Structure 1
């Protein structure tokens, strides 16, 4: 079948550019595509340049990226270094249509592609965006930090990808692909020094260790001795980094037709976490605060502005360093991570015949963390937590690929199993539920304040699937793709919010319901009228304690997913494509603090029908690559935050939005207007709308649930516009000595917050600048990120129980990076 030219600029004559450096530079521009990603540039004939095709593995085999009938962005490892992409969350900075935020300070990043995401801060929620590291799924986004180094490329696939990817998701996937071992002996090191006393060191060793055995060892460490956030109320800073990561890859050529790749990786993160910044809610049309807290009382009386309110200063924040309970036990609450990820994977490739090959990928990862975070943005204890998480994930995929003159087919099976145990230690002594109730005289908490909670749960998920994918060339120009996948998934959950051992939660339950719970007892209340232990069925009886128990549930999901695609190549420079795909994400459970069992009931699976058309074109005799796509999503039962109406008020809940829709368009342009010049531009437009949803109102109180019609509102985290633009110029200073100057600007439009207005964010623009001097195997780059010190906040929410907070982005930073390849 004919295909558009997806290309990388390469030196045609040796008297103008160093071939190695120029090729690496051009990969930057090739791989920022929005619609089909990584698309090639070419220059006019007078520049004496020619184009070379780039390959990706978005569809589980090597293909030219312009021959892939799906929407995918691809970014090389060199580009990510140049743009300062050091974590998986940073990918959103260079990918219109992708956002990363959080809805609470729990250390869980939330990925959203084209408005499809799940605004749940619980560790237990599997990611709506599939995350794959060397073809192995990381189903929980909390696991995604720490492995972004020594990458060959990253691929961002947009839209449901259920036919070829193991874990069921609706938004798309992000594939992180490591550099593989080769027989060529080599080594390299990169050292960077930047603002806030930050040191980055990354390196690799590569080569042949025996006949048919090649190995690659890569490492990265980031150390920062100075925090970038400053306390608003005391002399204290936050934001030090202490990260170590290591990856070893060994490739065994077992025979001419059999190849085995072993991957062993480890990451240790001892960094400080980011704190929030409090603001006056009246700035966005809300009340000043969601609920009163102890520290607010003197300012509420005097009418003065609390000193921890701040807007406009991207270094300003506040946090709590410790809490001492009634027994004298001191808890270290300073926002910090103690996280370790260790794992291994094995990939086997076997060419059974010239036309048929077999691939097996098996992976195991273990993630352990003790992570403290501050929700409330104050030197107070309205909301703080320590999460202790033990998570294990095993997966295995077996697939067979075959090809004839006109047809390519893939069939396979997938199995995964994960287990999660978590203690969510929550501190709230200054909140409206704790001692804040005494200051403001709020009943019943002033008589029995709740100071601390222990939410403990375990979750087990088993998933198995069978899939088939067929591409048939009807003619030299027309290709049809048909694919299907059947998935069976079981998810079991058991959990409760326990008294923390201080007796405060048990004391509240005893005061309010006449129970006789002991310190440490499960205190989640059975509020299901159909249950034999319904609280109002046993209240006043000797069995009242039975109304406080662990909640258990198992859900089963059995679903088909489909895909139909058409590609039509008008000529070598113009490809049209259209796809229909269907995807789903299974239901789950609420891992937040619970007051009632109804709050913990499962939410259902969500489903998306995606319709997309696109065009890939090479223009101006190869000097420009222009790509366009448009899409429409029919979104059913979207998983979303809601309020749970409980005895203690409206607290964290999860639900399904029955109907919503999203449509949009994306553009990517790459242009080489003259020798040495490269220009890139990308844009993503989104329009989302809730079509049907009766959301829970803040005015509810148990047992009455008041709802409001949320239809007509936008979905959360759907900025109408996201824009990228970049320009670079490279020239030769002297024989072999190259100079390159470049910059990029990234814009994200405001978001509404969906049904929760406090989750809204403002539009922002971040600009970056860099200059690189290089020769052969070394380079020096000086750079600035957030050049104009833009104040922006990618996330905003209620800071636990009382204040409204923003999670502010980093200020302007400067640095110098030195690289040398041996």
Structure 2
């Protein structure tokens, strides 16, 4: 047993002592949220796992508009960007994958009405008409379809009702935002119930202001609709149909460039234009502060609107924007067979996008990209469940198949790889600058699993939970960075090798091919004869590889009811996440070698106590993770320098604690509070030293250093939130309420990438509302980030050269009117 396990067992004694002291509490008066975390309805305080659950009302009042916003409500959960590619990265308790490529699968499982969303780029649609959201922490592999290590986020929609109901909500806010949401629900005929819900958000006014010109960014144009139909096929069987569509034509957020010395870094990662005019003697603005740097103003940013190629004359629209559509549907059959229930869940989702993003935070063109993505996901789950008060069981099988095609057009004419090379004296690129890249790849994934889960009340007040899941996953990837239409990559490679390449040819150097390396070392001679450029070009082909993995995940849990109001529990579980491929721009094929699966072993103890005669719910948990082969960003040592790579970190450890409370101290009062503490450490990793490494044909130029002792990325030591609300009746019979909430997140180191470090920040929100006594109508005046706090949940190198931050929203305020028919 390692030292962290010993500490955890010592802490567990304290947990039991606290819970035991509370054992005399009476029946709860707080309303308990019902969850389906274990595939059946249970009170959240009766489940022996750590779950943060939020009702639909809480979601609406807190202004949650997307899956990413849930992090503001949940200590221990962070959602950030790792680059400007439109791909959010979810992290729970320090378990996350900081990869920005679309093909990357998340450590956090995302489920919408039980259907897995395997790629986080698909999760940015609107959240509306939600019954509840559940955040499950720790490995949950025995009951959920896709392989993850961190936990799950479940979004559960409101279901069709027997009685007619309808409602509409309208919001008017600053920055010209107008939002409308509504639903209609009820019986369509005997045994048939339906529900249609919609949401649209529109804004013609941007919230970001350009630092160098009269321009704004941040317009919104999102429309989403969902139709649900429940059909009673007979007395024992119900078919539930779900069809949904999201269309997003909004602006994307731009980055803000800053002087890296403000964060203990160099001024920039690599030089770029027009920085030469500010740092090279003789420049027009030598020793002046560049106007595209900004800190302290969360509206300030800059971006590139267009680029015209000097080689082709073609003009590209690079203004950050989305043209994204998600369409899908599912069919769930529940059939009561007497002693057991058969459930079948079939789902299909199709996601398409043509999206532009600006990495570099400036009107210059160091790094911009246009992503064109096509994704199709199919899944089928069949399960049998049954049981009684003492024993419940679930067995099932799961299959999923998804196909992805990604076209990633990258622009970098002002970077050190292109026009900045000459003024800054970078001889490798000055004669043959690389201005555009075409990265294209496809990925096919098939996953199948069988699983079993049991809950056994083996003695009075004692319950044993077991779970096991076998999974096979096969993932095939084919891709390359191709010579773009401007042929600048082809010209560069022809200057380095005796090769003939044209636009559309693969331009990734085949250094994983021993034959090519042999030719390179031999000076491209065979028997004293030079190899022809056409023969060398034959080695420049898309890289293809397949991962085929089998794994068994399992869980063992035990919980004990000290009284009707106090539950203590312990869980030991093992989860894994399958390996994957690097979808970034590639210069060499060694950069594309797949990373292998990661494994997480979790030990957790906790308690759930109803105190103070039912007016307080206090839940706590202590956990320790052994993290094996964590998937992580690293440098890839390539011909052009050190660029984006992925690797496995052999060993890491995570220890943490969480506490959350709901308390009604007096009539009309409600106080919610949550706090999370994390201690993360890499214990074994020889990482690449980017400053000392260089590309060589035999790999001898790669230099490594001992990275043990580093923290993991997106792992704030402390995070907490606090909400206070007071509600009272007026003489007229109406109800008034005021509420305020406060969210804090500690600083992060960025883990292996110090450029990804973030400062500590806090955000405060406030609301005042008036409603009818019967709840048929309400008016809510609200303000978010009321102090206009400057904060940045994400930071990173902005593509090639500048350091950038992705800032949070400034102060927003508005009014929301609700009416229920």
- TM-score scaled to structure 2, two decimals? 0.93
Task: Kindly indicate whether the alpha-carbon contact (under 8 Å) linking 1:533 and 1:547 is maintained by their aligned counterparts in 2.
Answer: no
Matched, 1:178 2:157: yes
Q: Which residue of 1 aligns with 2:704?
A: 707
Q: Which residue of 1 aligns with 2:298?
A: 314
Matches within 5 A, 1:76-91: 76-91=55-70
Q: Secondary structure at the match of 1:143?
A: helix
* 1:734 CA displacement: 2.1
Q: Point out the more displaced range, 146-155 or 652-661.
A: 146-155
Q: Deviations over 1:746-787 (max 9, x none)?
A: 000000000111100000000000001000300000000001
Q: Which residue of 2 aligns with 1:29?
A: none
Matches within 5 A, 1:56-135: 56-135=35-114
Task: Kindly indicate whether the alpha-carbon contact (under 8 Å) linking 1:527 and 1:535 is maintained by their aligned counterparts in 2.
Answer: no
Q: Deviations over 1:67-107 (max 9, x none)?
A: 11111111111111100110100000000010000110000
Cα separation, 1, equivalents of 2:519 and 2:572: 49
Matches within 5 A, 1:413-812: 413-528=397-512, 530-531=514-515, 536=520, 539=524, 540-542=530-532, 543-699=535-691, 700-703=693-696, 704-775=701-772, 776=774, 777-812=776-811
Q: Deviations over 1:246-272 (max 9, x none)?
A: 000000011111001000000000000
Q: Deviations over 1:411-451 (max 9, x none)?
A: 00000000000100000011000111122221120000001
Q: Point out the more displaced range, 312-321 or 147-156.
A: 147-156
Matched, 1:247 2:237: no
Task: Kindly indicate whether the alpha-carbon contact (under 8 Å) linking 1:342 and 1:367 is maintained by their aligned counterparts in 2.
Answer: yes
Q: Secondary structure at the match of 1:459?
A: strand
Q: 1:309 and 1:405, CA in 2 relative to 1: closer, same or farther beyond 3 A? A: closer
* 1:284 CA displacement: 1.6
Matches within 5 A, 1:344-363: 344-353=329-338, 355-363=339-347
Cα separation, 1, equivalents of 2:202 and 2:223: 9
Q: Which residue of 2 aligns with 1:819?
A: 818
Q: Which residue of 1 aligns with 2:6?
A: none
Task: Kindly indicate whether the alpha-carbon contact (under 8 Å) linking 1:697 and 1:707 is maintained by their aligned counterparts in 2.
Answer: yes
Cα separation, 1, equivalents of 2:593 and 2:515: 13
Cα separation, 2, equivalents of 1:680 and 1:243: 32
* 1:148 CA displacement: 1.0
Match of 1:298 among 277, 281, 289: 277
Q: Deviations over 1:702-756 (max 9, x none)?
A: 1201111110010000000111101000000124300000000000000000011
Q: Which residue of 2 aligns with 1:238?
A: 217
* 1:520 CA displacement: 2.1
Task: Kindly indicate whether the alpha-carbon contact (under 8 Å) linking 1:533 and 1:546 is maintained by their aligned counterparts in 2.
Answer: no
Q: Deviations over 1:544-572 (max 9, x none)?
A: 11231110000111000010000100110
* 1:512 CA displacement: 1.2
Q: 1:526 and 1:572, CA in 2 relative to 1: closer, same or farther beyond 3 A? A: same
Q: Which residue of 1 aligns with 2:321?
A: 336
Cα separation, 2, equivalents of 1:51 and 1:757: 44
* 1:286 CA displacement: 1.3
Match of 1:378 among 359, 362, 366: 362
Cα separation, 1, equivalents of 2:677 and 2:657: 5
Q: Deviations over 1:677-705 (max 9, x none)?
A: 11111000000000011111121111201
Cα separation, 2, equivalents of 1:690 and 1:66: 34
Q: Secondary structure at the match of 1:336?
A: coil
Task: Kindly indicate whether the alpha-carbon contact (under 8 Å) linking 1:249 and 1:263 is maintained by their aligned counterparts in 2.
Answer: yes
Q: Secondary structure at the match of 1:295?
A: coil
Q: Secondary structure at the match of 2:599?
A: strand
Task: Kindly indicate whether the alpha-carbon contact (under 8 Å) linking 2:570 and 2:606 is maintained by their aligned counterparts in 1.
Answer: yes
RMSD: 1.5
Match of 1:187 among 156, 159, 166: 166
* 1:344 CA displacement: 0.3
Cα separation, 1, equivalents of 2:68 and 2:287: 40
Task: Kindly indicate whether the alpha-carbon contact (under 8 Å) linking 1:333 and 1:384 is maintained by their aligned counterparts in 2.
Answer: yes
Matches within 5 A, 1:134-213: 134-213=113-192
Match of 2:198 among 219, 227, 232: 219
Q: Secondary structure at the match of 1:89?
A: helix
Q: Deviations over 1:217-244 (max 9, x none)?
A: 0000000111000000000000000000
Match of 2:350 among 360, 366, 378: 366
Task: Kindly indicate whether the alpha-carbon contact (under 8 Å) linking 2:65 and 2:126 is maintained by their aligned counterparts in 1.
Answer: no
Q: Which residue of 1 aligns with 2:373?
A: 389
Task: Kindly indicate whether the alpha-carbon contact (under 8 Å) linking 1:450 and 1:508 is maintained by their aligned counterparts in 2.
Answer: yes
The count of residues paired between Structure 1 and Structure 2 equals 778
- TM-score scaled to structure 1, two decimals? 0.93
Cα separation, 1, equivalents of 2:764 and 2:32: 30
Q: 1:601 and 1:593, CA in 2 relative to 1: closer, same or farther beyond 3 A? A: same
Cα separation, 2, equivalents of 1:189 and 1:71: 34
In structure 1, stretches of 5+ residues that fail to align are 1-34, 36-40
Task: Kindly indicate whether the alpha-carbon contact (under 8 Å) linking 2:126 and 2:199 is maintained by their aligned counterparts in 1.
Answer: no
Q: Which residue of 2 aligns with 1:258?
A: 237
Cα separation, 2, equivalents of 1:73 and 1:418: 30
Q: 1:534 and 1:79, CA in 2 relative to 1: closer, same or farther beyond 3 A? A: farther
Task: Kindly indicate whether the alpha-carbon contact (under 8 Å) linking 1:528 and 1:534 is maintained by their aligned counterparts in 2.
Answer: no
Q: 1:535 and 1:571, CA in 2 relative to 1: closer, same or farther beyond 3 A? A: farther
Cα separation, 2, equivalents of 1:400 and 1:297: 67
Q: Secondary structure at the match of 2:421?
A: helix
Q: Which residue of 2 aligns with 1:410?
A: 394
* 1:65 CA displacement: 1.1
Cα separation, 2, equivalents of 1:693 and 1:183: 58
Q: Deviations over 1:319-341 (max 9, x none)?
A: 00001112221110000000000
Cα separation, 1, equivalents of 2:314 and 2:117: 36
